[in-house]
């Protein structure tokens, strides 16, 4: 089934400045989804993060990598293949610890996969290849990915403090969109594989029919040869010639039986391929259903987001109307205060005159 996500979280993504090798440069404007992916065909673990359609993290985990916690909410690791150091700022210490645990787990799995690959190559290598020299490396043996302590980036300064994540209402929508894109890519791959398997299945079915006809012909030929041998043994008076002819016929029968056995094995293999094709068809149907569920969920989230925007706009309009009413009341109050002041002055003058 190719590469599958096995763990996801959200964090602010940074990369070390390639010029200074000291300062952090943010690669995302807000918190994005960071996921661990497992490629079952190559037995490889990767860390992938997308900001829209742009891949801001694409790092293959190797046994030499180390994830370092530099603060309560920030961690980093070096990737020499990408020639950079990645940093992640999390919303809490719990999320950072969980990500670090998964990193250590998948790093150990990558180490075991590397050891198994090396053992398999040692068992399958021939003596001549072993004597040719030890410079050849396994294609699955990664280079040293994690640098030394000098290559690691310094701790994140106060200026690069992780920014707050988006509002809670926007998180499910963004995450669902990323999952929907991933399932759409998986579905497109399955459709291509399904078309190839369908063509192979049709070709295999035609071959099976042809081989069945050939097997029937071989069986008829074998029966005819057996009858011929019996006739020759009864009719021929030349025992030596009959014995030689019989030996040749027996050899021909043996060859036909071996051919028949090979064809039967080929038929079994084709049946197994047909079963595999059916399993892939069932998996494709399951993925299609999951994609439909994700699309329905996305529509629900879009409706919720639209409702929240309308409520926010209505609240702003009500606040604006309230402010205008307050201004009007303040103006009326200022006029009343002015009139009372004049009245007080007039009363004071009357008292003075009296």
pLDDT at residue 48 in the model = 94
Alpha helices in the chain (DSSP H): 93-124, 127-131, 170-235, 239-353
CATH of residue 102: 2.30.29.30
Give the other-Cβ count within 10 Å of 65's Cβ: 23
Query: Which residues have C-beta within 8 Å of that of residue 83, sequence separation ≥ 6?
Result: 18
Look at residue 254 and tell me if it is in a domain: no
Domain with 100 in it: 3-118
Q: Are 238 and 294 in contact (CB under 8 A)?
A: no
β-pair type (32-39, 3-16):
antiparallel
Number of domains forming the structure of the chain: 1
Neighbours of 28 (CB within 10 A): 20
Structural domain includes residue 217: no
Phi and psi torsions of 192, nearest 5°: -65, -45
74-79/84-89 β-pairing: antiparallel
Q: Are 74 and 89 in contact (CB under 8 A)?
A: yes
pLDDT recorded at residue 14:
94
The pair of three-digit structure tokens given for residue 275, joined into one six-digit string: 């079963």
Residue 104, C-beta contacts closer than 8 angstroms, at least 6 positions apart: 67
Judge whether 3 and 92 are in contact, CB under 8 Å. Answer: no
Domain-embedded: residue 49: yes
**Is-contact 70 23, C-beta < 8 A?**
no
Tell me the three state secondary structure of residue 59: strand
Task: Let me know if residue 300 belongs to a domain.
Answer: no
The pLDDT score that the predictor gives to residue 75 is 95
In a domain, 249, yes or no: no
Distance between alpha carbon 107 and the CA centroid of its chain, in Å? Answer: 17
Structure tokens at 37: 């992916």
Per-residue b/e over 77-94, b at no fewer than 16 CB within 10 Å?
bbbbeeebbbbbbbbeee
What is the rounded distance in angstroms from the CA atom of residue 346 to the CA atom of residue 338?
Answer: 13
From 32, 94, 105, 33, select the one nearest 67 (Cα to Cα).
105
For residue 70, give both structure tokens. Answer: 């530099």
pLDDT tens for the chain, residues 1 to 354:
567 899 999 999 999 988 888 899 999 888 999 999 998 888 889 999 998 888 999 999 999 999 999 999 999 999 988 889 999 999 999 999 999 999 999 999 988 888 887 777 777 664 444 444 443 333 333 333 333 333 333 333 333 344 433 333 333 344 456 666 777 777 777 777 777 677 667 766 777 777 787 777 777 787 788 777 777 777 666 667 657 778 888 888 888 988 888 988 888 898 989 889 898 999 999 899 999 999 999 899 999 999 899 999 998 999 999 999 999 999 999 999 999 999 999 999 999 988
Phi/psi-derived region of residue 69, left when phi > 0, alpha when psi is between -120 and 50, beta in every other case: beta
- Domain membership of residue 76 (yes or no) is yes
Q: Residue 105: inside a domain, yes or no? A: yes
Task: For residue 302, tell me if it sits in a domain.
Answer: no
Cα(34)–Cα(49) distance, integer angstroms: 5
Return the pLDDT at 175: 46
């Amino acid at each position: 089934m190719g590469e599958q996500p096995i763990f996801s979280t959200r964090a602010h993504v940074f990369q070390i400045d390639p010029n200074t090798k000291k300062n952090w440069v943010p690669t995302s404007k807000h918190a994005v989804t960071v996921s661990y992916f497992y490629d079952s065909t190559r037995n490889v673990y990767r860390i992938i993060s997308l900001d829209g359609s742009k891949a801001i993290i694409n790092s293959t985990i190797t046994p030499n990598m180390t994830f370092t916690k530099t603060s309560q909410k920030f961690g980093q690791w070096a990737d020499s293949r990408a020639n950079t150091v990645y940093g992640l700022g999390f919303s809490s210490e719990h999320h950072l610890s969980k990500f670090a645990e998964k990193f250590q787990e998948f790093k150990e799995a990558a180490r075991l996969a590397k050891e198994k690959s090396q053992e398999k190559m040692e068992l399958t290598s021939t003596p001549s290849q072993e004597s040719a020299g030890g410079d050849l490396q396994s294609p699955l043996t990664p280079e040293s990915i994690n640098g030394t302590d000098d290559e690691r980036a310094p701790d994140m300064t106060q200026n690069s403090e992780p920014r707050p994540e988006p509002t809670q209402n926007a998180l499910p929508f963004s995450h669902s969109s990323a999952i929907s894109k991933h399932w759409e890519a998986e579905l497109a791959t399955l459709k291509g594989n399904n078309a190839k398997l369908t063509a192979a299945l049709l070709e295999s079915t035609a071959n099976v029919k042809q081989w069945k006809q050939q097997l029937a012909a071989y069986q008829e030929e074998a029966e005819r040869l057996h009858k011929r041998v019996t006739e020759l043994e009864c009719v021929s008076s030349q025992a030596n010639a009959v014995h030689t002819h019989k030996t040749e016929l027996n050899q021909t029968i043996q060859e036909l039986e071996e051919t028949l056995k090979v064809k039967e094995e080929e038929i079994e293999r084709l049946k197994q391929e047909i079963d595999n094709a059916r399993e892939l068809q069932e998996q494709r149907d399951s993925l299609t259903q999951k994609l439909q569920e994700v699309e329905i969920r996305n529509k629900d989230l879009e409706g919720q987001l639209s409702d929240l925007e309308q409520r926010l706009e209505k609240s702003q309009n009500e606040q604006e109307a309230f402010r205008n009413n307050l201004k009007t009341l303040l103006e009326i109050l200022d006029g009343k205060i002015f009139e009372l002041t004049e009245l007080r002055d007039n009363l004071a003058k009357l008292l003075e005159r009296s």
